[in-house]
Structure 1
């Protein structure tokens, strides 16, 4: 696998993302419990909002890493791969904005 294509996350970054995603996973389980226990709707919505923000934070970090590595490397190398990487980033930004 070409390191410029995939797998560019440094080990510490990967560990940070996994740690954050595990926390989000715990939040999701907490939300399930809240619903099962029929807790107050506003409290559940507050936790949904916190989980959404946590996911957005992960997404923005990954996007920043993608721009800083994949897109920059492809732009330096030139050729059609640069346009592909820019389009991927643009599409990802569009999805984040719509979510």
Structure 2
């Protein structure tokens, strides 16, 4: 289940997840500028909530995709161990 540099771990969903994370990264940079510019804390907090939500959604998509596609490999005990390990990040 672990991957190495010679066998990258890729799924069909990864490009969409990368796109989400890049958008969130740009949004986070914009929030930092808002703070530097002295924007009201309420506005900053609202935008930080949006960034947090975007990152959380990307994480959930990655984990759900992993659960759908990767837990079929290995023995039942390996599958359970990996499911337990990854589910703590939900």
Shift of 1:36: 0.3
Determine if the alignment matches structure 1 residue 90 to structure 2 residue 84.
yes
Superposed, 1:19-58 pairs within 5 Å as 19-58=19-58
How many Å separate the matches in 2 of 1:30 and 1:85? 40
Q: Which runs of 4+ in 1 moved over 6 A?
A: none
Contact 2:17–2:58 (Cα < 8 Å) also in 1: yes
Contact 1:66–1:89 (Cα < 8 Å) also in 2: no
The 1:70/1:34 distance shift into structure 2, 3 A limit, reads same
Q: Which has the higher helix share?
A: 1
Q: What SS class does the counterpart of residue 24 from structure 2 fall into?
A: helix
| TM-score normalised by L of structure 1 | 0.73
How many Å separate the matches in 1 of 2:17 and 2:89? 20
The correspondence for 1:9, drawn from 11, 18, 23, is 11
Deviations 1:75-98 (A, max 9, x none): xxx2xxx434433332332233xx
Deviations 1:5-48 (A, max 9, x none): 441412xx221111111100111110110110011001100011
Structure with more relative contact order (C-alpha pairs < 8 Å, separation 6 or more): 2
